[in-house]
Amino acid sequence: MSTTAVARTVTDVLQPRNVLLVGLTGLGAAAAGSWTGIGWGLLAALCAGIIPASYIEWERKRGTWGDRHVVDRKQRAPIFFVILGSIGLGSLVMVLGHAPRDILVAMIALWVMTVGLLMTNTVWKISVDSAVASAVVTLLAVVHSPLWIAAYLLVIAVCWSRVALTYHTAAQTIAGAALGAATATAWLC
């Protein structure tokens, strides 16, 4: 298998939608201390990952973008606004439904991270995939278990794949990963 094929597989398997679905579902269970938190985690994944991915797919089918990667940073602003609105509405439902504190705080961290991504993106292309992967690993390490830090190997794989596919430079992936970790850590401490 070629390097490009491996990179494509890594970037497709570890895309934000998938990372958020698995990570936030687990985070919801950890935040609630039982399986009852899985519903809150699924709501978080829906708002932070599934709805934005669906919007990207809808725009792709309309011909707005060639694929989910939206490599032209000037075309990315609408995506960030959809993410901010979706996470905001999900957070409101969590507040009204008395969701466990840690899953709500995780949503706020993701919202703040998205603001940082949007602001940075106005002048420089930053890796959303790297930011999401890093934020989810950090959230799991803080809420669930420090052993999740070992999953940073997956974050490194995401960063590598984005560079190998020439979607980002190494600096853009490192900046994304740093932003994801910083916002997750700041809001959970």
DSSP string, the chain: --HHHHHHHHHHHT-HHHHHHHHHHHHHHHHHTSGGGHHHHHHHHIIIIIHHHHHHHHHHHHTS-SSTT---GGG-HHHHHHHHHHHHHHHHHHHHTT--HHHHHHHHHHHHHHHHHHHHHTTS---HHHHHHHHHHHHHHHHT-GGGGGGHHHHHHHHHHHHHTTSS-HHHHHHHHHHHHHHHHHHH-
Q: Which amino acid makes up residue 184?
A: A
The residues spanned by each domain of the chain are 3-188
pLDDT in tens, the chain (189 residues): 899 999 999 999 999 999 999 999 999 998 888 888 999 999 999 999 999 999 999 999 998 877 788 888 888 999 999 999 999 999 999 999 999 999 999 999 999 999 999 999 999 999 999 999 999 999 999 888 889 999 999 999 999 999 999 999 999 999 999 999 999 988 766
pLDDT of 189: 64
